[in-house]
A and B are shown apart, each in its own frame.
Chain A
């Protein structure tokens, strides 16, 4: 077996382990989805159609909800290892790259599930004026993936510090800002008849570029965060 597929296999094992644990306890998913649904319902109640709120406000609000829901749950993957004291065993058994890629995959899937469950609900409850459906799906997909990429290494940092809950929000906000701003911009473009793909192509490029930068950067520093 070559070295490169060594970490891939490890990552797969970590991912499978986390998924199994999540299916059994449903803590992260429960936290994330309940947070999102609660805020969507609250927002829908407050901004119901006669209120006449503009589309760009709704686009910004959608991403604020997704981001804060992510903050509620994405740190779980690392915090749970420190709390149950399984981190040391994991450090011995699996290479840092394997751990990071596995955790990143788990968080990414968590974000996709979150978006699949809450975004349709948001669109219905707030009567969002989606015009370019294809673009909207692409931006949501890329945006949620980028958020997972940006916050996974921060989750590893937070798991080592005190006051984890509060700290994760504070620390992940700056790192997640670029994809957040761009995703809002792209979503607005998808909701306006006169914008569409042409207006959002820069956003898509930046989202992809951001992931191509932040994932290697995370891999580079993760080793130093993870090993004691």
Chain B
């Protein structure tokens, strides 16, 4: 593998892992809150 690619890709991977997780959590939280709202209204 091209060494340049190897060390350019590492921070990207860390970012992708962390922000992927954050995004997923955020989406999940929004979904849950929406469902809670709906059920509260019923």
Is any CB of A less than 8 Å from a CB of B in the complex? Answer: no
